[in-house]
């Protein structure tokens, strides 16, 4: 179960760009969300740009690293999982989020692999609206939009 002010759990599946992960670390520190990183990462954990993007928020974020998708799922077992994907048929703002829900985001360049996306029922595949002809949002921006919607639904519980 999440901590007192946990908003949601965020899973980044094999993130590739260090500043995006750093931005998500900072976001999670500021919202109380948990962050789960599924390896392999596309960068070294010691990468300077990861540290720079996260500034000094690393110590305030609850970050867990998992050697693979099965390990991550096992740790989060019993919670509702949602995939955020450009291939989702349901808009993210139609979901009613609960405090212990899990939002799963794919790689910056390829999204979630089909075999993982296939584990999610259609109603748990969410998309962010975009203008026609656009491919996707930046990963850290997409995470921020989804996490703040989940937190908004809880009236920003624990925030000031």
CATH of the domain at 74: 3.40.1280.10
Q: Please say if the pLDDT value at position 7 is more than 80.
A: no
Contact 54, 28 (CB under 8 A): no
Q: What is the pLDDT of residues 87-140, one digit of tens each?
A: 999 999 999 999 899 999 999 999 999 999 999 999 999 999 999 988 889 999
Q: What pLDDT shows up at residue 46?
A: 78
Alpha-carbon gap, residue 145 to 72, rounded angstroms: 23
- Count of the separate structural domains present in the chain: 1
With respect to residue 2, please indicate whether it lies within any of the assigned structural domains.
Answer: no
Cross-sheet strand order for the sheet of 90-91? 62-66, 34-38, 9-13, 102-105, 81-84, 125-127, 90-91
Q: Which range marks the domain in which residue 108 is found?
A: 9-153
Q: In the structure, what pLDDT confidence band is assigned to residue 54 with cuts at 50, 70 and 90?
A: low
Q: Please say if the pLDDT value at position 47 is more than 60.
A: yes
Q: What pLDDT shows up at residue 53?
A: 61
């Amino acid at each position: 179960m999440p901590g007192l002010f946990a908003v949601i759990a965020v899973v980044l599946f094999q993130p590739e760009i260090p500043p995006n992960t750093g931005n998500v670390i900072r976001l999670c520190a500021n919202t109380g969300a948990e962050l789960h990183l599924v390896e392999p990462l596309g960068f070294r954990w010691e990468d300077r740009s990861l540290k720079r993007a996260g500034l000094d928020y690393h110590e305030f974020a609850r970050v867990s690293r998992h050697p693979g998708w099965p390990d991550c799922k096992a740790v989060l077992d019993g919670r509702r999982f949602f995939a955020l994907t450009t291939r989702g048929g349901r808009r993210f703002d139609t979901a009613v989020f609960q405090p212990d829900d899990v939002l799963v985001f794919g790689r910056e360049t390829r999204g979630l692999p089909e075999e993982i996306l296939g584990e999610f029922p259609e109603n748990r595949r969410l998309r962010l609206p975009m203008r026609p002809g656009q491919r996707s949002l930046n990963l850290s921006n997409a995470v921020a939009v989804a996490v703040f919607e989940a937190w908004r639904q809880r009236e920003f519980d624990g925030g000031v």
